Structure 1
Amino acid sequence: MRGGITDQDLEEILALCPRLYAAVGWNADKAPDWETFRACCHSQAILAPLSAGAAATIAIEDFIAAMEAQRASGELEDFREDELGRHVEAFGNVASVRSAFVAAMNGAERRGVTFAQIVRHEGRWVILSAIWDNETDEIKLPADLA
C-alpha cells in the first residue's frame, strides 16, 4: 500500500474519469448514461469549466440539465470524450487526478485537461470536484499527458 492506497483503490480511482467521460457522451444511436455519470460523483459534487476564462461552478444536476437542453434542441447532436492520459496522486481517503481528454462535438475535436478531486465516501471512490480547461494555440496539453 502507498499512503494507505491499495492496488484496488488505485484501479477504482483510475477508472473514474474514463467512466465519467463515457457516460456523458451521446450520438444518434446512444443516449447519455446519466445514472453512471451521477454514480461517478459525490451527490454534492461541483463542476467548473474554465474554457471561458473565468471560474463558474455548476452542480451535477444543473450540468446534466444543460447538456440535455443542448441535446434536445439539436444544438449538440453528438458528443464524445475519451481520456488521452492521466496522472494520479493519492493518500488515505483523497486522490487527485489530472486527466487529458479529447472531445468531439458535432464532429469538431478539442483537447483539454480535467483536474478531479476524488474522495473515498461511504466505502467507494467518487469525484468531489472536477475543473477543466481546453487546449488553445497558446496553451498546449502537458507532454506527459498528450
Structure 2
Amino acid sequence: MQDEAQNDDVRAIRLLITRQFASLSWGPAKSPDWAGLQSDFHDNAVLYGASRPATSQSPEAFAARMKALAETSLRSFDEAVLGTEVRVFGNVAVAVAACESTENGTQIDRNVEMMLLLKEDGRWKIVAQAWDRADEAQPIPEGLLAGKAELA
C-alpha cells in the first residue's frame, strides 16, 4: 500500500513539474499562465536562479520579472521537460528536472532545476527551487535525460 501511495506522489510531483514548465511558455498564439505558475509554490517559497552571486527571490518577483520580459524583449518562450528524477519520503520530496527553453524561437538553453517540496493538505507545493545552466563543460547527466520516458 505504501508503494502505491508513493507512486501516486511521484506522479503528482511529475505532473506539477510539467505544469510549471507549461505555464511558463508563451508565444503569439499562447499566453503564459502566471497564476498557474504561482499556484504550485508554498506561500514562503524561495527561488534561486543560475546567476551568481545567488540571490533569493519570491515566486511573485520571478513571475513579475518574466512578465516584464514577455511584454518587451522576450516575445516567445517555450520551456519543455527533458527528464525528471523524484525522491519521496513521507510528506517531503526532492525533484530534479532537466529542461530546455527556447527564447524568441532561436536561442536554446538547457538547465537542471532542483526542487524541494512539501505535501500539505494532500497537495504538493514547491518550497525551494534552484537551477543552473547546462553547457558543453557541464552537460545534463545522461541518466536524467533518460528519465523523459517516465513522464508518459
- Structure 2 length-normalised TM: 0.88
Query: How many residues matched?
Result: 143
Deviation at 1:30, TM superposition (A): 1.2
Structure 1 counterpart SS, 2:142: coil
Deviation at 1:34, TM superposition (A): 1.3
What residue ranges of structure 1 are gaps of 5+ in the alignment?
none
Q: Give the equivalent residue in structure 2 for 1:62.
A: 61
1:97 to 88, 95, 98: 95
Contact (CA 8 Å) 2:10, 2:87: kept in 1 or not?
A: no
Match of 1:85 in 2: 83
Amino acid in the other structure paired with 2:69: Q
Partner of 1:131: 130
Offset of residue 38 of structure 1: 1.5
What is residue 139 of structure 2 aligned with on the other side? 140
2:74 to 63, 76, 83: 76
- Say whether the 8 Å CA contact 2:45–2:59 is kept in structure 1: yes
Residues 26-62 of structure 1 deviation map (CA, whole Å, 9 limit, x = unaligned): 1011111112111211122111112x23311110110
**Residues of 1 paired with 2:81 and 2:75: CA distance?**
21
**Distance of 1:54 and 1:142 partners within structure 2:** 24
Percent identity (aligned): 30
Question: 5+ residue gaps in structure 2?
Answer: 146-152
Q: Distance in 2 between matches of 1:37 and 1:43?
A: 13
1:121 offset after TM fit, Å?
1.9
**Paired residues of 2:47 and 2:130 also in contact (CA < 8 A):** yes
Q: Give the match's secondary structure for 2:64.
A: helix
